[in-house]
Amino acid sequence: MTDDYLIESFLEMMSAERGASENTLSAYQRDLRNWKFATRNKVFLTLGTGHLEAVLATWQREGIAASTAARKLSTLKQFFLFLQTEGHRKDNPANNLDRPRQGRPLPKVLSEFEVNQLFLTAEKDISPKGVRLLCMLEILYAGGLRVSELVTLTVRSTNRRDNCLLIKGKGGRERLLPLTKPAKDMIEKWALVRELTLPKGFGSIEYHDKFLFPSSSKNGHITRERFAQLLKRLAIKAGLNPKMVSPHILRHAFATHLLSNGADLRSVQTLLGHSDISTTQIYTHVLDKRMRKLVESKHPLAN
């Protein structure tokens, strides 16, 4: 029984039983191949805890981020648990390994002024593709979507009477996001020029009505990479540092700006689609500042 066979079986299980997305499955496969390479192609069925400790120590010396090593270790633990469950191994050699220590760096965030500069710059391009970029920007900042959620939006998901977006997120979990009026208006404006940007071969109803932002990519929609590239170009035009502008940084900006303007952490967790509030807690530095300001300005003994 080869390692390749075991990995494929594991991926099939994660897809069928856990509903793992294609991106998640690709990440699992990549992690397991990295372990295979790092252990000098030793067989997974014979790997011991010592082999794994040696790999983690090597990664630490090489300066691999603790968060990356922790993710790879998590993948391996799940893989060995699968091998145990299927009766291929009696033990899980990764089970007692400590998670590599990592700090939780504060996310990079654009200020409200910088986000406004992006919008003002995007509004200057009135071409169909310019309208598309502004529409994507409006939706992204209005709802804090993951970039994969944004580019795969369907036409149907925006045609709700309650002015909400139906998002299919990680693990197939669905959530509703209320649309701001500017975002709703831009979707309507985009609908008027969308056909002008449709590539050849998109005349059929199957493609014409599926994705909100169609393209000639193999998946039929604008790719994450292309959208990120367009944002970088927009940042340069707006006089901003392109390294500080990406779809994920705009997602961080959405969450941070909501919290700084009075939203509660639970609401932001729901809007972001985080299954665990501990993921959302990276934004608590905003709450800390707000609480301190509240005490300093409102407490009767503050002055």
Q: Whole-angstrom Cα distance, residue 14 to residue 8?
A: 10
Please state, in angstroms and as integers, the Cα–Cα distance from residue 286 to each residue in 62, 103, 178, 264, 265, following that order: 34, 18, 23, 11, 10
What's the pLDDT score for residue 207?
Answer: 54
Q: Which residue has the tokens 């998901």?
A: 157
The token duo for 52 is: 């794994």
Which CATH code for domain 3-85?
1.10.150
The tens place of each residue's pLDDT in the chain, 303 residues long, gives 798 999 999 999 999 988 888 899 999 999 999 999 998 888 999 999 889 999 998 888 888 888 888 899 999 999 999 999 999 999 899 988 888 766 555 567 788 999 999 999 999 999 999 999 999 999 999 988 999 999 999 888 888 888 888 888 777 788 888 888 999 999 999 999 988 887 666 655 555 568 899 888 888 889 999 999 999 999 999 999 998 899 999 988 888 888 888 787 788 888 888 877 777 777 766 555 555 555 555 556 555
Helix, strand, or coil here: 165? strand
Q: How many CB atoms lie within 10 A of CB 35?
A: 21
Q: Whole-angstrom Cα distance, residue 217 to residue 281?
A: 36
Residues paired with residue 167 on neighbouring β-strands, in sequence order: 175
Q: Whole-angstrom Cα distance, residue 152 to residue 172?
A: 13
What's the pLDDT score for residue 64?
Answer: 86
- How many residues make up the chain in this entry? 303
What's the pLDDT score for residue 196?
Answer: 83
> What is the CATH T-level fold of the domain 112-293, as seen in this structure?
hpI Integrase; Chain A (1.10.443)
Q: Which residue has the tokens 């993951």?
A: 146
CA atoms within 13 Å, Cβ hemisphere of 22:
4
Contact by Cβ (8 Å): 38, 58 = yes
Active site residues: 146, 170, 248, 251, 274, 283
- Give residue limits of the domains in the chain: 3-85, 112-293
Q: Whole-angstrom Cα distance, residue 249 to residue 13?
A: 33
